[in-house]
Structure 1
Amino acid sequence: MSTYAVSPTAPGSLGTDVPPRELLRYLDAMITWKGQRRSELEDLDRAAIALESPQERAAVTPDVTLSMTLWQAVSDRLELLMATWDNGRVEESDRRRITTLIWGSLEQPGSRGAGQALAVSLPEACRLSDSLASSLRSRLRLDGADPRASERVGALRQQLARIADQVALIPSKRRQSAAQAHALLERRLEDVADRLRRGGDVVGFLGPLEAEAATTERDLIVAASARAHAKVEHAQATREVAELSARGQAVRALAERARARVQPAPTLGVPDVTALGDIPSDPDELSAYLTRLERVDRALTMAQTTYAAALARREDLVQQARALASALGPDSGAGSAMVPLVQQTERLIADEPTDLTQLEALVQAQQSFARTMGITVDPAPTGSTADPSKGDAR
């Protein structure tokens, strides 16, 4: 058995039901892996800090940092698993929730752009941690590395099998370079195994081979998670485009209604999401595309708010004018002084687009007259409570 932590095989698949005993074995193994890997990372961190060459420290620091980040993500997910396990008091729904937590992405919702390393499942994160730790031990030349060459060759065979599985997941058009790298690793491993069978010393060959295999597996896992992440983002972009297209049409209708009913009307443009073109498949282009979708969303929100506010202002002024017309009627004591002003206001309201500047001036004049005459006017609903979609009552 290796002296280093090796991640256990995860049970089931996403959302499946797994027997409680199998889940318990996995959780126990994960707790052991977590503690052992933490101890290893502390040793690796100390060894990295102790490097005399700044260049060497700079070369290993990103992998040490990534290893710590992965460990923390695994630890956080393990806490959720243990909370769901609840000392074995689990029904079928709980067991399915556990396998969902195991095989679901460690990346949290809304964390897009925070780094691809966490866009992996728990088993992938553990395997990536194993690979990184193996690579770092070799690069840092730590004492106490497992001296049993045959075991190390066997571990390498298992690792190359996992690499082959990852290569098979790459789209055929992009697979060539990864397949060549895998083939080269296999040839080097066979050469080492042949030397070992003939009794040769292979320790000097194993270290670099382990480091390169670990780096290759790490890169393939991260690339696979990036592809999966891009697939999710592509589906998200598709939904957002459909939603923004529908919103855009509605806001354009709202803008036309505002321009037809009020003047001066707002002049904000209403963006058309289809102008962005087709949704790209390349992860980098897709990320930029999603950023542009966010800008379209903000622009639509601003346009909707602005045009709705103009219509709501008209509705507010119309209701105030109607309340004043009622208060300043023949029985109000105002006589006929306000009749021309009230009539002028009604004509202005009936004329579309309504000049809001003139309407506001007329309403303010009537309000001033009512206050001077001591006439009480029932308060009209303000624009904040009016529903601009209903229009004014005629």
Structure 2
Amino acid sequence: MTSVAHATAPVAPGQLGQAIGVDELRTYLGALDDWRAARKRELDQIDAAALRSDEADSYVGDLSLAMTMWQSVSDRWTQLTKIWDSGRVGPQQREEMSRVIWGTGTASGNLTGSIGLSLAEACRLSDALTAALRARLSFDPMAADVAARIQATRATLERCRDQLAGGHAARPLSLPDLDELTRRLDELAARARRGSDVSGPFAAIEAAAARAERDLIMAAAAHRGLGRDYRAALERRRELEAEADQLDKLVERTRAAVVPAPKLAVPDVSRLGKVPQTREALDTFRGRLDLVGTAMTQVRDTYTSALGEPGVLLGLLRAFASKAQANGRAKDPLVALVREQAETALSAVPCHILDARNLVENYQRLIVPVPGGGI
């Protein structure tokens, strides 16, 4: 099999919210562009090799994710170069570039943003996925770069330990024993230095380390997403509780002002219970929050309309009175009597809205007959 260069993503400069230095950005953009090109060539050759494999279907999932991840990184690189504008950047633009590099939701529809990965993490995930695919397909199983590959695998295992020590996510169930992998790797390195062919066992360890890093990156992203959604659900619950208080007051005002008032009930937010902290339960809870929000909108619209109806009817009555004045009907005793009755009904507290509505409708018919009736 043709040798493939093993691309490794460059280390991202700066940190979120920092106006990264111009020279650091220039170096990073160039290195990231080189990485994009090398990774694309590597993935193309891996894809071709996978298609020739007897177990081609088993590679589809990881290969598809690797290709999509590459495209996502490439999209962010394009975004960065647009902001970079050939180096014509001030502090504001350089801070914006740091958000693209370190932020977790920079583009709509962007895979890395949707699962909560920064550009730096997306590059690491791409490296891990590609290393796993390389190992599974036995790309250059033990070529002249064996020492470098062993060192790279050892670095992968160290990054896995660091991520676990950070406590940013639950330990994936599929995660292997990292200490055991390191012990086996050290044994293979010693055997390789003595000239032994350790290609098979090493490929298995290399793949296991790459899968471990991939799983940890994804777990950390999922954990951040869960935390973000939990906080959003808490805030939405508080908003709905405050809205419920306002709706209770609206209902009281309406019932005091209009008879009969609507009979819709204000949803009781407390019946939702506490905000859960597991993904499946949280997603269900957020769906229930949406339903409560929709119900509150209906309650607010219904009671607001009912509370405002006497004012609307009074406006109609005055408009009809102007017509009566214009066509000489205003002094008609019946017209004057119905107008007086309507004004009395509309000024009453509470307003008996059905009676008031009928009186305004009757007044309209006296002034401007409407075919079929109705206001």
TM score, norm. by length of structure 1: 0.83
For 1:1-394, what aligned pairs fall within 5 Å after superposition?
3-52=5-54, 56-106=55-105, 108=107, 118-142=115-139, 146-170=143-167, 174-175=170-171, 181-324=177-320, 334-371=331-368
Deviation at 1:171, TM superposition (A): 5.8
Deviation at 1:176, TM superposition (A): 9.5
Q: Give the residue type in structure 2 aligned to 1:347.
A: T
Q: Say if 1:146 and 1:286 are closer, same or farther in 2 by CA, change over 3 A.
A: farther
Q: Give the residue type in structure 1 aligned to 2:58.
A: A
Structure 1 contact 227–283 (Cα < 8 Å) conserved = no
Count residues with an aligned counterpart. Answer: 365
Q: Say if 1:136 and 1:261 are closer, same or farther in 2 by CA, change over 3 A.
A: same
Looking at structure 2, the residues matched to 193 and 320 of structure 1 have their Cα atoms a distance apart, in angstroms, of 91
Structure 2 contact 100–106 (Cα < 8 Å) conserved = no
Q: Say if 1:193 and 1:327 are closer, same or farther in 2 by CA, change over 3 A.
A: same
Q: Give the residue type in structure 2 aligned to 1:11.
A: P
Looking at structure 1, the residues matched to 293 and 93 of structure 2 have their Cα atoms a distance apart, in angstroms, of 38
Q: Say if 1:146 and 1:261 are closer, same or farther in 2 by CA, change over 3 A.
A: farther
CA RMSD of aligned residues (A): 2.8
Q: Give the residue type in structure 1 aligned to 2:274.
A: D
Q: Give the residue type in structure 1 aligned to 2:42.
A: E
Structure 2 contact 135–203 (Cα < 8 Å) conserved = yes
Instruction: Please state whether the residue corresponding to 2:333 is helix, strand or coil.
Output: coil
| Structure 1 residue ranges, 4+ long, deviating more than 6 angstroms after superposition | 114-117, 176-180
Q: Give the residue type in structure 2 aligned to 1:355.
A: H
Q: Give the residue type in structure 2 aligned to 1:97.
A: E
Looking at structure 2, the residues matched to 226 and 294 of structure 1 have their Cα atoms a distance apart, in angstroms, of 22
Looking at structure 2, the residues matched to 223 and 20 of structure 1 have their Cα atoms a distance apart, in angstroms, of 33
Deviation at 1:178, TM superposition (A): 8.1
Q: Say if 1:51 and 1:175 are closer, same or farther in 2 by CA, change over 3 A.
A: closer
Structure 2 contact 345–351 (Cα < 8 Å) conserved = yes
Task: Please list every run of 5 or more consecutive structure 1 residues that lacks an aligned counterpart in the other structure.
Answer: 373-381, 383-394
Residue number in structure 2 paired with 1:389: none
Deviation at 1:251, TM superposition (A): 2.1
Instruction: Using the TM superposition, name which of 223-232 and 114-123 deviates more.
Output: 114-123
Structure 2 contact 142–198 (Cα < 8 Å) conserved = no
Deviation at 1:144, TM superposition (A): 7.7
Instruction: Using the TM superposition, name which of 145-154 and 232-241 deviates more.
Output: 145-154
TM score, norm. by length of structure 2: 0.87
Looking at structure 2, the residues matched to 5 and 24 of structure 1 have their Cα atoms a distance apart, in angstroms, of 19
Instruction: Using the TM superposition, name which of 206-215 and 191-200 deviates more.
Output: 191-200
Instruction: Please state whether the residue corresponding to 2:309 is helix, strand or coil.
Output: helix
Q: Give the residue type in structure 2 aligned to 1:123.
A: A
Q: Say if 1:314 and 1:336 are closer, same or farther in 2 by CA, change over 3 A.
A: same
Q: Give the residue type in structure 2 aligned to 1:63.
A: D
Instruction: Using the TM superposition, name which of 214-223 and 318-327 deviates more.
Output: 318-327
Q: Give the residue type in structure 2 aligned to 1:64.
A: L
Structure 2 contact 313–357 (Cα < 8 Å) conserved = yes
Task: Please list every run of 5 or more consecutive structure 2 residues that lacks an aligned counterpart in the other structure.
Answer: 370-374
Instruction: Please state whether the residue corresponding to 1:337 is helix, strand or coil.
Output: helix
Residue number in structure 1 paired with 2:372: none
Deviation at 1:146, TM superposition (A): 4.4
Looking at structure 2, the residues matched to 65 and 220 of structure 1 have their Cα atoms a distance apart, in angstroms, of 19
Looking at structure 2, the residues matched to 67 and 322 of structure 1 have their Cα atoms a distance apart, in angstroms, of 71
Deviation at 1:221, TM superposition (A): 0.3
Residue number in structure 2 paired with 1:375: none
Deviation at 1:123, TM superposition (A): 0.9
